[in-house]
Chains A and B, each alone.
Chain A
Amino acid sequence: MSKLSVKNIAEAIYDASHDKSGNELGLVLKRSAQVLKDKRMLGKSKDVLTALQKMIDKKTNTIRAKVTTAKSLSDQERKKIEQGIKEKYKGEVIVSEFFENRELLGGMRVEVENEILDTTYRARLEKLEKFLMK
C-alpha cells in the first residue's frame, strides 16, 4: 500500500467536513486528529493544516496577499490595493496582511501565492547595482 501524503489527508478531511456543521463537524475533526495520531503523522499536522487551508482557499476563491511598504498606509490606500489584487487575480475574497519595513525606502512589495511584485526603491537600487556591476 502506498504511503499517505499530507495532501491525501487534507483532501480526506476536507471531503468529510465541508458539508458538516455543529456537533457533526466537531466529531469529524476529532476523528481526523485520531487518524493523524494513528498514522503517526501528528508531526506533520502543520503541513496538513497548510494544505487544508490552500484547498479551502481554492474552493472559496480566496486570495491571500502580503503587502509590505516603507511607511504605513491609510485605510483608503489599503482598500485600493486590495481592489487591485482582486481584479488581477480574479478572486472573490481577499485576505490581506499589511507590514511595514523602513528598509524598503519607498514603493511596495506584494506577495500573492508564489508571485511577487516588487516595486520597492530598495529592489530597484539593487537591480541598478547589478546592472552597473556587469
Chain B
Amino acid sequence: MSNHIVENLRKEIEAFKIDENALKVGHVVEVFDGIAKVSGLSDVKSSEMVTFSGGETGVVLNLEEDTVGVIILGDFSKIVEGDEVSATGKILEVPVGDAQIGRVLNALGAPIDGKGVVKTAKSYPVEKVAPGVVTRQGVDQPVQTGIKAIDALIPVGRGQRELIIGDRQTGKTAIAIDTILNQKGQNMICVYVSIGQKDSKLRKLQTRLEEGGAMAYTIIVSAGSSEPAALSYIAPYAGVAIAEFFMDQGKDVLIIYDDLSKHAVAYREISLLLRRPPGREAYPGDVFYLHSRLLERACRRNQDYGGGSITALPIIETQAGDLSAYIPTNVISITDGQIFLETDLFYKGIRPAVNVGFSVSRVGGNAQIKAMKKVAGTLKLDLAQFRELEAFAQFGSDLDDATKRQLERGKRAVELLKQPQYAPVLTEHQIVSLYALVKGYMDDVPVEAIKAFESGLIDYTDNNAKMFRKEVLDKKMWTDAGEAELKKAIEDFKVNFMTL
C-alpha cells in the first residue's frame, strides 16, 4: 500500500514541469471594496485573468493610462499595497464537465455543496461571442413548463429567451422551479444561476429540487448575497459557459438567471468603484450590452452544428410593478417575450399570477405542438375579452346572453388555469382539460367544482381515451377517431360527475 503511494507520488513529481518564461507582473497601487488598481501589467488584455501573490484571482476590467482596474474574485482583505500581480494571458475560464450535474458550484465553478471535488477535464471561457447566424435555426420545439397558463398561452421554445418579470413575492422563482421539475424525462439539462440570493433561499430550492428528483439533471451556480459583487457579476457568464459545454454536445439546456436585476446592481457597484461614469439610475452606459451579450448566447443550433440549444429564462424583479424602469425595459427589449406576474392577481388567489394580457411570447406559437395550438388558439383572445367584459359588467346588470356566456366561460378559464406550486401538469393532460373548456363542456359545471372536474376528467380519460392520448404523445396531434373517443369520454365522465 505504502509502496503504491510512493510510486504514485513519484509519477506525479515526474510529470511536474516548470515553465521558465518571463512573467508580466504589476504591483498593487491601491485596493478597496473588491477592486485593485495595479501598475505595470503593460500587455494585459481586457477580461484577462490575473493572480495575486496570495493566490487570489482577479479579472482586468479597466485598462487605463498607467494602471489597470482589477476586480478581485475572492477574499480581498489579505491583498495589500505593493503585492505582486501576475498576468496569466488567459481570459477567465470555468471548469466544465458532466460531473457537474447534480452539484452546487460557485461563480468560478468550484463546488460549494460539501460533496467533494468535481472532476472535470475541460474549461470554457466565461466571455464568448454568441453563435453566429449561420449556426442557428428557428425555434420550433417546445420547452414544456408544466404550467398550463404558460404552455397554453405564452409557450416557450427550445432556444428562446423568455423573461419572467414581476414584483417581489409574486412567484417568479416558483415558475422557474416548476419548469425545472417538469423537465424530468424531457432530455434537458438545467442550469440554475442564483445571483445575490440569500443562502437560505438557495438551500430551500436545492432541497426542493432534490425531493423532486430534479438534481439528476440540474446544476446550480451560486453567487450569494454575502459574496463580493465581482462574483455576482461573473456568475451568469459562468453559468452560460457551463450550458454551452452541454449545448456543444448537441444537448438541450435550460438556464435560469435568478435574477438579472441583482446582476445589474452588482455591475453598477463595480462600475462606480472603477470610476466609470454613471448614467440613468446610476447604471453605467454599457448595462444594456451587459445583458444583451449574455442573453444572445441562448440559441438553437442547426443540425450541422450539433443541434443543441440553450433556452434562457432570465428573471427581473420590478419595484411596484414599474415596467418602465431602466433594467426591465432593457431586458424586455432583449428577450423574445415576457411572462408578467402581478401582485393583485397573486392576492386574488390566481396563482401562478400571470397577467395574460401583458405577457407575450414572440416565437412561442411555432414551438407549440399542433394539438396544443389547436386547443389554445382562441383561449388567449377569450381571456382578454373576458377581462374587458368583467370590468364593463360591473356597471350594469342587464347583459345579453352572449356576454353572459362569455363571462361564464372566462371565469372557468381563469379557474382552470390556476395551479398549485410544485405540481406541473403533463402536456397531454393539459390538452384534455383545455379541450373540455374550449369546446364548452365545462360551461355548466359550477366554477368552484372546476378543479375537481379537471382532476376527475384527467383520471377518467387516462383510462378511457387511450387512443387519443397515444396520438397526442406520438404524433403531437389527434385524428378524428381519437377526437371522437375523447368527446365520448368527456361526455360519459360529465354525466357521472354532474349526478354526484
Contact = CB atoms under 8 A, between A and B. Distances in A.
Interface in A92-134: 113-119, 124, 127-128, 131-132
A131 B18 CA distance: 10
A41 to B, nearest CB: 15
A131 B22 contact: no
A113 B23 contact: no
A21 to B, nearest CB: 30
Interface string B1-32: 00000000000110010101111111000000
A114 B24 contact: yes
Contacts of B21: 117
B42 interface: yes
A124 B18 contact: yes
Interface in B25-76: 25-26, 40-42, 65-66
A132 B66 contact: no
A115 B23 contact: yes
Contacts of B20: 117, 119
B65 A7 contact: yes
A128 B9 CA distance: 12
Contacts of A113: 40, 42
B257 to A, nearest CB: 31
**Residue in B18, B21, B65, B86 whose Cβ sees the most chain A Cβ within 10 Å:** B18
A46 B22 CA distance: 29
B266 to A, nearest CB: 30
A116 B51 CA distance: 14
Contact of A116 (B12, B18, B25, B65): B25
**Residue in A113, A115, A119, A132 whose Cβ sees the most chain B Cβ within 10 Å:** A115
Contacts, number: 35
Contacts of A124: 18
**Residue in A113, A116, A124 whose Cβ sees the most chain B Cβ within 10 Å:** A116
Contacts of A116: 22-23, 25, 84, 86
A117 B86 CA distance: 12
Contacts of B40: 113-114
A128 B16 contact: yes
Nearest to A110: B22
Contacts of A117: 20-23
A124 B16 CA distance: 11
Contacts of A127: 18
A41 B212 CA distance: 66
Contacts of B16: 128, 131-132
A6 to B, nearest CB: 8
A9 to B, nearest CB: 13
B65 A114 contact: no
A128 B16 CA distance: 7
A114 to B, nearest CB: 4
Contacts of A114: 24-26, 40-42
A132 B40 CA distance: 30
Contacts of B12: 131-132
A100 B66 CA distance: 30
**Residue in A114, A117, A119 whose Cβ sees the most chain B Cβ within 10 Å:** A114
Interface string A7-39: 100000000000000000000000000000000
A118 B23 contact: yes
A5 B66 CA distance: 11
Nearest to B15: A131
B123 to A, nearest CB: 14
B24 A115 contact: yes
A132 B15 CA distance: 11
A113 B12 CA distance: 35
A84 to B, nearest CB: 12
A24 B22 CA distance: 43
A124 B18 CA distance: 7
B185 to A, nearest CB: 38
A113 B22 CA distance: 11
Interface in A63-95: none
Nearest to A130: B55
Interface string B68-91: 000000000000000010100000
A75 B174 CA distance: 75
A58 B8 CA distance: 52
Contact of B66 (A7, A115, A118, A119): A7
A114 B40 CA distance: 5
Nearest to A54: B66
Nearest to B40: A114
A83 to B, nearest CB: 17
B45 to A, nearest CB: 15
A61 B12 CA distance: 45
A82 to B, nearest CB: 16
A115 B26 CA distance: 8
Contacts of B26: 114
A116 B66 CA distance: 19
Given A115-B22, A115-B23, A117-B22, 8 more contacts: A7-B65, A113-B40, A115-B24, A116-B84, A118-B23, A119-B20, A124-B18, A132-B12
Interface of B: 12-13, 16, 18, 20-26, 40-42, 65-66, 84, 86
Interface of A: 5, 7, 113-119, 124, 127-128, 131-132
7 contacts: A114-B26, A114-B40, A114-B41, A115-B25, A116-B23, A116-B25, A131-B16
